[in-house]
Structure 1
Amino acid sequence: MLYEIATLSIRFGTAAQAVAGIADYVKAPDALGRLLGCWTTDIGDLNQILVLRGFDGAASLIAERERALGTTNPFGCGAAITALTFDSYAPFPFLPPVEPGKYGSVYEIRTYRLKHGGVPPTIAAWAAAMPARGRLSPLTLAMYALDGPPRFTHIWPYASLDARAAIRSDAVAQGIWPPKGGPDWLTGEMRSVIGLPTAISPLS
């Protein structure tokens, strides 16, 4: 399984139009992949929609990428889009595939830049730490980038921003988080976005 996050920067006031277009685009007869998440940004870079899709392998991901690149109306909302980026990922291998469901009203999508060679030790650190961390709150997905600079992205659902703050503080206080040895491989360049599930998001 491979994953893609498409980041659509949109004109102010066009979110509803864009989400309707995305819904049709991902269900088109020639569409590949499975829609897993669709969020509007609420904290972080605003006027963005993040679209998470899963693919059976590289061939279907590339074919779907080419479909988007070959049209003036990507995601069915080209008129609303001011910028469009794609990130391709492989999941941390110890994690199960993402399953749609109701997990939280807010999602945090965090990306960390890694030092060279940081992918294997980061996966190992997370594999050791997640059993305890996962008992505090679920992890939707952790995955490392297959293109661009070395980095990984993790997605967490929370009932609220207050719940997020409490759980993260609890994990640190218990010594559960961050994963032991994991920060050693970070460059310090980090980015976090809070996304709100849209009406079409299978993850909600």
Structure 2
Amino acid sequence: MQRYEVVTLTLPIGATGAALPRIKQYLDETPSRGRFLACWYSDIGALNQIMVIRGYESAAVLAEEREAALLAGNPFGIGDLVTDMEINDYAPFPFLPPVEPGEKGPFYEVRVYGIKPSGLAPTIEAWRGAVPARTEISPLTIAMYAVDGKAPRFMNIWPYPSLDARNKARADAVAAGIWPPKGGPAHLTDLASSIFLPASFSPLR
């Protein structure tokens, strides 16, 4: 099954501008078996963060690259700037297509929900029923569940052309009664949400 690697790098205040060109150079020069999908920096929510997302054809391929990268040190060529780093692996909700690059944003809302221990399968089924109608209002980049770390939890990413468009899409979905998914909130425990903007070299932008 396909896997997505989400790396969140926390930097000192004001260091994002210096970090992004070095990340681009690292990605350009370092061979990878993963597909580079996104490099975003946080604008609302948890600030001073850069998120890098790559897709892998399998968990085994991801694990091999992860081990090599950790042993090499200097993550994404900015090890001297990083104050904290989280690496999380996700599997996509099985009914969704793979993430494809393109100009979808530039505002990306990244939402991470904690789920009750018995709630992952019902959450996926609730989304299976609700996503088609919801994505007629605005597109979904991906919804995916964690396969490591604190579990169960899932991440969903929504692109918007503006913050006003985000607010309207969410309000319209609620008013139409198609979102949130029926029964979905009953399985959730907590939520964190941030807005990210794309680096100039991000495939998803």
Relative to the length of structure 1, the TM-score reads 0.96
Answer yes or no: is 1:164 the counterpart of 2:166.
yes
**How far apart are 1:73 and its partner, in Å?**
1.1
Aligned position for 2:9: 8
Farther off after superposition, 11-20 or 22-31:
22-31
Please give the residue correspondences for 1:1-204 in structure 2 after superposition, counting only pairs within 5 Å: 1-149=2-150, 150-187=152-189, 189-204=190-205
**How far apart are 1:95 and its partner, in Å?**
0.3
Q: Distance in 2 between matches of 1:199 and 1:122?
A: 34
Q: Distance in 2 between matches of 1:26 and 1:94?
A: 30
Say how many residue pairs are matched.
Answer: 203
Given the superposition, is the C-alpha separation of residues 76 and 134 from structure 1 closer, same or farther in structure 2, using an over 3 Å criterion?
Answer: same
**Structure 1 residue ranges (4+ consecutive) displaced by more than 6 angstroms after TM superposition:** none
Q: Distance in 2 between matches of 1:193 and 1:184?
A: 22
CA distances 1:28-74 after superposition (whole Å, capped 9, x unpaired):
35423111111100011110001111001112211221133113311
Given the superposition, is the C-alpha separation of residues 64 and 16 from structure 1 closer, same or farther in structure 2, using an over 3 Å criterion?
Answer: farther
**How far apart are 1:134 and its partner, in Å?**
0.5
Identical aligned pairs, as a percentage? 55
CA distances 1:75-109 after superposition (whole Å, capped 9, x unpaired):
11111111111010000000000000011110000
CA distances 1:96-154 after superposition (whole Å, capped 9, x unpaired):
00000011110000000000121111111001001100100000000000012210000
The one-letter amino acid of 1:57's match is: S
Structure 2 residues without counterparts, runs of 5 or longer: none
The one-letter amino acid of 2:54's match is: R
Q: Distance in 2 between matches of 1:19 and 1:125?
A: 38
Query: Which secondary structure does the structure 1 equivalent of 2:79 belong to?
Result: coil
- Conserved? CA contact 1:17–1:77, under 8 Å: no
**How far apart are 1:8 and its partner, in Å?**
0.3
The one-letter amino acid of 1:77's match is: I
